[in-house]
Amino acid sequence: MKQASELYETYLRTDMLPTILCSGCGAGVVLNATIRAIDSLKMDLDNMVFVSGIGCSSRLGAYINADSLHTTHGRAIAYATGVKAANPDLEVVVFTGDGDCVGIGGNHFIHGIRRNIGINVIAINNYNYGMTGGQTSPSTPQGSVTTTTQYGAFEHPFDIAQLAKTAGAAYVARWTTSHPLQLQKAIRKGFSNKGFCFIEVLSPCPTSYWGRNKVRNPEEMYQWYKDHTIPIGRAEEYPEKIPIGELVNVEKREWTEQWASLVRKVSP
Amino acid sequence: MNAREAIGDTVQFVQGDKACVYGALLAGCRFFAGYPITPATEIAEEMSRLLPLIGGTSIQMEDEIGSISAVVGAAWTGAKAMTATSGPGFSLMQETIGYAVMTETPCVIVDVQRGGPSTGQPTRASQGDVMQARYGSHGDYELIVLSPSSVQEAMELTIRAFNLSETYRVPAILLTEESIGHMREKITIPDTVPLQSRPATEDEAAPHVPPFSPFGRGKKAFVTGLTHQDNGHPSTDDHEVHDRLVRRLCAKVCENMDDIFQADTVRMDDADTVIVSYGISARPGRAASEMAAQAGRKVGAITLKTLWPFNYAYFAELAQRVDHIVVVEMNCGMLYHSIREAAAGNATVTLVSTLGGKVADPTAILEVIR
Amino acid sequence: MIRINEDYCKGCGYCVRACPKKALHLSAQRNANGVTPPVADEEACTKCRLCEVTCPDFAITIEEEDEE
Chains B and C touch (3+ CB pairs under 8 A): no
Mutation to test the A interface, candidates B58, B76, B138, B226, most A Cβ within 10 Å: B76
CA angle B124, B129, B133 (to 5 degrees): 145
The per-residue pLDDT for range A207-247, each reduced to its tens digit, is 999 999 999 899 899 999 999 999 999 999 999 999 999 99
Residue A89 touches chain B, beta carbons under 8 Å: yes
Tell me which chain C residues have a C-beta less than 8 angstroms from the C-beta of A184: 53
Beta partners for residue B60, in sequence order:
B34
Tell me which chain A residues have a C-beta less than 8 angstroms from the C-beta of C55: 28-29, 32
Contact A66 B220 (CB under 8 A): yes
Chains B and A touch (3+ CB pairs under 8 A): yes
The per-residue pLDDT for range B319-351, each reduced to its tens digit, is 999 999 999 999 999 999 999 999 999 999 999
Q: Which pLDDT score is estimated for A173?
A: 98
**Which pairs with CB-CB distance under 8 Å and at least 24 residues apart come from A229-235?**
A229/A176, A229/A179, A229/A202
Q: Exposed, middle or buried by CB within 10 Å (0-12, 13-18, 19+), for A265?
A: exposed
End-to-end CA distance of chain C: 11
Residues B15-40, mean pLDDT to the nearest whole number: 98
Phi, psi of B96, deg, nearest 5: -75, -25
Residues B270-289, mean pLDDT to the nearest whole number: 98
Nearest Cα neighbor of B142 from B260, B249, B256, B259 is: B249
Give the ranges where B103-177 is alpha helix by DSSP (H). 130-135, 151-168
* Residue B304 identity: L
Contact B70 A62 (CB under 8 A): no
Which chains would you list as touching B if contact means 3+ CB atom pairs under 8 Å?
Answer: A
Which residue among A66, A79, A267 places its CB closest to the CB of B73? A79
Contact B220 A65 (CB under 8 A): yes
Residue C4 touches chain A, beta carbons under 8 Å: no
The per-residue pLDDT for range B110-120, each reduced to its tens digit, is 999 999 999 99
Residues C41-65, mean pLDDT to the nearest whole number: 94
Residue C68 pLDDT class (50, 70, 90 cuts): very low
Q: Which pLDDT score is estimated for B169?
A: 98
Q: Which pLDDT score is estimated for A268?
A: 78
Between CA A167 and CA B232 the distance in angstroms is 36
**What is the DSSP code (8-state) at residue A100?**
I
Residue B125 has pLDDT above 80, yes or no: yes
Residue B11 touches chain A, beta carbons under 8 Å: no
Residues B178-201, mean pLDDT to the nearest whole number: 97
Give the ranges where A141-254 is alpha helix by DSSP (H). 160-167, 180-192, 218-227
Q: Helices A180-192 and A27-40: crossing angle, nearest 10°?
A: 50
Nearest Cα neighbor of C52 from B36, A258, B263, A6 is: A6
Tell me which chain A residues have a C-beta less than 8 angstroms from the C-beta of C53: 32-33, 36, 180-181, 184
**What is the DSSP code (8-state) at residue B228?**
B
Of all residues in chain C, the percent with pLDDT exceeding 90 is 90
Residue A37 touches chain C, beta carbons under 8 Å: no
Beta partners for residue B6, in sequence order:
none
Residue B257 touches chain A, beta carbons under 8 Å: no
Residue A12 touches chain B, beta carbons under 8 Å: no
Residue B107 pLDDT class (50, 70, 90 cuts): very high
Residue B105 has pLDDT above 90, yes or no: yes
Q: Which pLDDT score is estimated for C22?
A: 95
The per-residue pLDDT for range A80-95, each reduced to its tens digit, is 999 999 999 999 999 9
Residue in chain A closest to C12 (alpha carbons) equals A24
Let me know: does A164 contact A200? Beta carbons within 8 Å: yes
Residue B6 touches chain A, beta carbons under 8 Å: no
Which chains would you list as touching C if contact means 3+ CB atom pairs under 8 Å?
Answer: A
The verdict on whether omega for the bond into residue A18 sits within 30 degrees of 0, i.e. cis, is yes
Q: Count residue pairs from A and B with Cβ separation < 8 A.
A: 131
Alpha-carbon distances, residue B106 vs B78, B79, B196, C37 (angstroms): 9, 9, 11, 47
Residue A267 touches chain B, beta carbons under 8 Å: yes
* Residue B187 identity: I
Residue B361 touches chain A, beta carbons under 8 Å: no
Contact B1 A71 (CB under 8 A): no
Between CA A132 and CA B91 the distance in angstroms is 25
Contact A3 C58 (CB under 8 A): no
The per-residue pLDDT for range B213-228, each reduced to its tens digit, is 999 999 999 999 999 9
Let me know: does A77 contact A110? Beta carbons within 8 Å: no
Q: What is the CA radius of gyration of chain C?
A: 11
Alpha-carbon distances, residue A242 vs A123, A130, A199, A232 (angstroms): 16, 21, 15, 8
Residue C3 touches chain A, beta carbons under 8 Å: yes
End-to-end CA distance of chain B: 56
Residue B23 touches chain A, beta carbons under 8 Å: no
| A51 SS3 class | strand
Q: Which residues contact C66 (CB under 8 A, 6 or more apart)?
A: none
Tell me whether strands A67-70 and B222-224 are parallel, antiparallel or unpaired. Answer: parallel
pTM of the model: 0.97
The verdict on whether omega for the bond into residue B39 sits within 30 degrees of 0, i.e. cis, is yes
Between CA A51 and CA A231 the distance in angstroms is 30
Let me know: does B295 contact B336? Beta carbons within 8 Å: no
Residue C66 has pLDDT above 70, yes or no: no
Residue B7 touches chain A, beta carbons under 8 Å: no
Q: Which pLDDT score is estimated for B370?
A: 78
Let me know: does B108 contact B79? Beta carbons within 8 Å: no
Residue C15 touches chain A, beta carbons under 8 Å: no
Q: Which residues contact B26 (CB under 8 A, 6 or more apart)?
A: B3, B4, B7, B155, B159, B189, B190, B193
Contact C56 A31 (CB under 8 A): yes
The per-residue pLDDT for range A6-45, each reduced to its tens digit, is 999 999 999 999 999 999 999 999 999 999 999 999 999 9
Q: Which pLDDT score is estimated for A267?
A: 86
The per-residue pLDDT for range A46-104, each reduced to its tens digit, is 999 999 999 999 999 999 999 999 999 999 999 999 999 999 999 999 999 999 999 99
Residue C48 touches chain A, beta carbons under 8 Å: no
Which residue among A23, A180, A184 places its CB closest to the CB of C10? A23
Beta partners for residue B31, in sequence order:
B57, B81
Tell me which chain C residues have a C-beta less than 8 angstroms from the C-beta of A4: 49, 52, 58, 60-62
Residue in chain C closest to A217 (alpha carbons) equals C12
Residues C1-29, mean pLDDT to the nearest whole number: 95
Contact A78 B233 (CB under 8 A): no
Residues B140-168, mean pLDDT to the nearest whole number: 98
Nearest Cα neighbor of B35 from B71, B73, B74, B76 is: B71
Length of chain C: 68
Contact A218 C13 (CB under 8 A): yes
- Measured in angstroms, the CA of A160 and the nearest CA of chain B are apart by 20
Q: What is the CA radius of gyration of chain B?
A: 20
